[in-house]
Structure 1
Amino acid sequence: MNAPHVHSNLEVDWSTESIVERRNRFYSASQRKFVPYKEPLILKRGKGQYVWDEKDQKYIDLLGMNLCISVGHAHPQVVKAATEQLAELTHCTTMFYHPVPAQYAEELAATMPAGHDWVVHFTNSGAEAIDLALLMARTHTGNIDMLALASSYHGATFGAQSVTGISGFRHPVPQLGGVTFVAEPNQYRGAHGEGVEPYLGEVERAIASSTSGRLAGMIVEPVQGYGGIVPMPQGYISGAFERVRAAGGVCIIDEVQSGVGRTGDAFWAFESHGVVPDIVVVAKGVGNGIPLGAVIAKRDVAESMADKFLFHTYGANPVACAAGRAVLKVIREERLQENARAVGGALKTRLEELKKQYPLIGDIRGQGLMLAIELVKDGTTKEPAPEAAIAVFEETRRNGLVASRSGPYRNVIRMCPPLCLSMADVEDVMDRFVRSFRTATL
């Protein structure tokens, strides 16, 4: 039987029509689904906080390619570190030893709270790391029941979607059991309004009535990402973790979106809440676009899995870990956490001014360079306005911004740009938002 004909050259066809046609023809339905704009956005190159499409149209990337780009597109130090390692040894399975992943693990552990013995298990992605964190919690405690927040997002794998509290990410099949959801303490539209105590009371009730009374753990995003940029109010994480530990559970923090200096006030967002988790899940921005994830755990929790073999084929890949090391170095040297605080604060202030002009804007929220605009039909009832969000969102693209629509009602415009977004960009971003809202609301 003759082998099928396959083109042997490595040229890339950049014609718009062929790119769209090939994707529609050869991508599986599950991979074609994740498309935000009515007309496809085709990206060809990036530099810093900017990207260009196949027709050389320039955009400000307010999404950081789903928060994967932390220190900027094609950052020379990250490119250099990855390229040099790629040329020397592309992959080294964890069956064998290599210095780069081990040194990176040491450097990651050093970013965790002092006084604890931290260890690292590298994965290929955040969703894989979430799966491992769930397995680790259940193995360590010997318990099954997990608590998760409504409107949370932890990934799309079978395990990760079971603790994801947004229906659009949960497939119509039986989910992994033993998960109980509690209301997220959304201070704008939460089930119990403002405050913390009613939400902590719900944690107590869930433990008493929806579990065996003994927990494996609870998983929390310090700032919910796809849930619409919902920061956890002060006192909630510490209060919830106190109750979880009293029920025998471990405390898991998901920093996949909120980590590596993005919130400005701390390198990891959980640090602003005065808590020390047992397990921390990281990914996305740690690799600046190169596939890289990790579970960082207290040694006694991680050692519970010592009797069983667990393997991620490209976990601890030296090229990815070399990039990860460069990311930590760049964030420190270029003071990108401080930049996120300053630039994010300035942008948030300007967005608050925009809110005064448009009753359509119900809420401006977020921390550092993790911000959101929530659109509502009525400021009093807070009825979501997803149609208006689509209109504004499409206009932002026409005006040269790349953002995303998120939240349970898809009425939130989410902004999580590379941490190198500059103060000089703020005026430009706001000018484009003003034009977008003006056109969309005519």
Structure 2
Amino acid sequence: MQKIVFRRQAQSVWALAKFSTGGSLGQNSALKNAPADMEMPPCSFTPEEYKGMSKERMMEIRRKNCHPMTMKVTYYKKPVFIHQGHMQWLWDVDGRRYLDLFAGVATVGVGHCHPKVMAAAEKQLKKLWHTTSIYVYPALHEYCEKLTSYFPDPLKVVYLTSSGSEANDLAMLMARLYTGNFDIITFRGSYHGGSPQTMGLTSNSTYKYPVAIGLGCTNTMCPDVFRGVWGGSQCRDSPVQTIRECNCTQGRCMANERYIDQLKETFDTSVPSQIAAFFGEPIQGVGGAVQYPKNYLKEAYKLVRERGGICIADEVQTGFGRTGSHFWGFQGHNVIPDMVTMAKGIGNGFPMGAIVTTREIADSFTKGTHFNTFGGNPVACSIASSVLDTIKEDGTQQNSLEVGTYLMTELAKLRDKYEIIGDVRGKGLQIGVEMVRDKASRAPLLPQDMAELFEDIKDMGVLIGKGGIYGQTFRIKPPMCITMEDANFFLSVFNKSIQNYMERR
């Protein structure tokens, strides 16, 4: 068992890592800013000793042979060299242990190398690695039946892909074929993928290129009740509301009315009278865990359908129990979309995606022939099937609700304590913490300041993500097996990182 204890010695804090293998001391990260007398939660798993390529050699290859984009997206000033994972934990090549609160961008839902999922993968690998859907094999059909059992009627038809971008790309095509219309509407600040078509759905300059991409996509105002033009104190379906005040009467949300008016204006000015679709994440992921007023999607869906369009829920990050209260994020809005896209948590990190839609919409896709070599791969289907079983058997969704609600409630106390924490929001373990220069202006915290905090949190043993249009929101989307003890450890680390930041100012 590994245990990390932080103790203050003179002006420094040293981290000692004790491994069960022989009881020897292993070097851990130099956590100079770590809280005194704080323990990282114990872990009974012992990682393999790393004997592979040196860090210097990996970085040399990364610079020389990997596309320069891999250098651009390296998260930290001092990169993390990951070696092994188990449930909510990751180890680097030096044996340092990290609490993973980002899960490969909300992807590892039930835990790194979960024993049940690994067993399913191993069993299928011994029988059949790959064949395609031109043949009939059990894994594909067993999974499609199981997946659709989690959806209400009429969402009962599955098309399997290899990624979320691919699923969203095909959803665009299906919507256009079915409706006979072309224009698609998404929110500003949204992220729906990086393929040439889905770049049009994605509304963030960071992911844009100066070429013609995603034709026929229009972005409408995101109903962000914290950063947006209108907001209020009871808008969101979240255990934590914004710090903004409002004068709304019982049962009325002025912010919702204003944002719906903006959507109507988009219909009146920016698209034809008939459209193909409206794409929306139930909670924005890359956009920074942005939540909308409670009834917004219900009213938006009605307006879209009046104009001939279908409604598409992008559940790539919100699906598979992550929001806690429901298995799918759209259920929290009391709506039924015409199509649902998903990936990430579907295979607990194994490359896979899917579209679930109605029979009528699916039939329209047969006007031509579309073939996917890897969609429905037998190993992918076996893994995804095991993920569904594991979520149920481990009580993962309920844990997401309980631990996530606790985390948000405690983070809200830190928001009230510190001027630079502007907003805490989300549901379950889909959490965003928006950082600001001050609460009055809500101006985003500067990138260099975000990077400073981000690095400090990592050096204290916790990995989180970043998002938002300005990179101003910390994203907390861990494997859904984390414990209350893990949550408290992160809260201590986050609190200390803010203290460190304030002391340096």
Same fold (TM over 0.5): yes
Q: How far apart are 1:139 and its partner, in Å?
A: 0.4
Q: Deviations over 1:80-112 (max 9, x none)?
A: 101111121100111111111111111111111
Is 1:184 the counterpart of 2:222? The answer is: yes
Is 1:152 the counterpart of 2:212? The answer is: no
In 2, Cα distance between equivalents of 1:52 and 1:280: 35
Is 1:58 the counterpart of 2:97? The answer is: yes
Query: What are structure 2's unaligned runs of at least 5 residues?
Result: 1-49, 233-254
In 2, Cα distance between equivalents of 1:112 and 1:137: 19
Q: How far apart are 1:23 and its partner, in Å?
A: 1.3
Q: Deviations over 1:282-337 (max 9, x none)?
A: 10001001001001111101110112111222100010110000000000011111
In 2, Cα distance between equivalents of 1:274 and 1:295: 20
Letter in 2 for 1:420: C
Residue aligning to 1:70: 109
Residue aligning to 2:341: 281
> Are the equivalent residues in 2 in contact too, given 1:109–1:119 (CA < 8 A)?
yes
Residue aligning to 1:131: 169
Residue aligning to 1:421: 482
Match of 2:59 among 20, 23, 34: 20
TM-score by length of structure 1 reads 0.95
Q: Deviations over 1:164-215 (max 9, x none)?
A: 0111011221122111111111110113444211111111111122111101
Residue aligning to 2:323: 263
Is 1:41 the counterpart of 2:41? The answer is: no
In 1, Cα distance between equivalents of 2:464 and 2:351: 21
Is the radius of gyration larger for structure 1 or structure 2?
2
In 2, Cα distance between equivalents of 1:254 and 1:311: 22
In 1, Cα distance between equivalents of 2:74 and 2:371: 32
Structure 1 stretch displaced more, 305-314 or 125-134? 305-314
Alignment of structure 1 residues 79-228 onto 2, 5 Å: 79-113=118-152, 115-194=153-232, 195-228=255-288
Other structure's SS at 1:231 match: coil
Q: Which aligned runs of 4 or more in structure 1 are off by greater than 4 angstroms? A: none
Letter in 1 for 2:329: A
Other structure's SS at 2:367 match: coil
Is 1:394 the counterpart of 2:433? The answer is: no
TM-score by length of structure 2 reads 0.84
Alignment of structure 1 residues 344-359 onto 2, 5 Å: 344-359=404-419
Match of 1:292 among 352, 364, 368: 352
Other structure's SS at 1:196 match: helix
Other structure's SS at 1:364 match: strand
Q: How far apart are 1:234 and its partner, in Å?
A: 1.0
Q: Deviations over 1:105-145 (max 9, x none)?
A: 111111111x3251000000000000000000000000001
In 1, Cα distance between equivalents of 2:257 and 2:51: 56
Structure 1 stretch displaced more, 80-89 or 385-394? 385-394
Q: How far apart are 1:223 and its partner, in Å?
A: 0.5
Q: Deviations over 1:355-407 (max 9, x none)?
A: 12211101111111011111111211111113322111111000111111110
In 2, Cα distance between equivalents of 1:117 and 1:376: 41
Residue aligning to 1:5: none
In 1, Cα distance between equivalents of 2:179 and 2:265: 21
Residue aligning to 2:385: 325
> Are the equivalent residues in 1 in contact too, given 2:62–2:70 (CA < 8 A)?
no
In 1, Cα distance between equivalents of 2:502 and 2:141: 54
Structure-2 change in CA distance of 1:117 and 1:251 (3 Å): closer
Residue aligning to 1:272: 332
- The share of aligned pairs that are identical, in percent, is 37
Q: Deviations over 1:239-287 (max 9, x none)?
A: 1000000000000000000110001010001001111111100100010
Match of 2:466 among 394, 405, 410: 405
Query: What are structure 1's unaligned runs of at least 5 residues?
Result: 1-10
Letter in 2 for 1:14: M
Is 1:434 the counterpart of 2:434? The answer is: no
Other structure's SS at 1:84 match: helix
In 2, Cα distance between equivalents of 1:267 and 1:174: 37
> Are the equivalent residues in 2 in contact too, given 1:399–1:435 (CA < 8 A)?
no
Other structure's SS at 2:197 match: helix
State the superposition RMSD in angstroms.
1.2
Query: Higher helix fraction: Structure 1 or Structure 2?
Result: 1
Match of 2:431 among 345, 363, 371: 371
Structure-2 change in CA distance of 1:310 and 1:240 (3 Å): same
In 2, Cα distance between equivalents of 1:303 and 1:335: 36
Residue aligning to 1:6: none
In 2, Cα distance between equivalents of 1:135 and 1:441: 50
